[in-house]
Structure 1
Amino acid sequence: ERVYDLLEQVGLIPPKETAQKFPHQLSGGQRQRVNLARNIAVGAEVVLADEPTSMLDVSIRAGVLNLMEEMKFEKQMSLLYITHDIATARYIAE
Structure 2
Amino acid sequence: MTTQELVAPAYTAPTTYSEIIRDEIKAECGRRGISQRRLSRVIGISQQSLSDRWRGRIPWTLDEVERLEPVLGLDRGALLFRCARRDSNPQPSDP
Q: Normalised by the size of structure 2, how large is the TM-score?
A: 0.32
Structure possessing the higher radius of gyration over alpha carbons: 2
Q: Which has the higher strand share?
A: 1
Q: Which has the higher helix share?
A: 2
Q: Normalised by the size of structure 1, how large is the TM-score?
A: 0.33
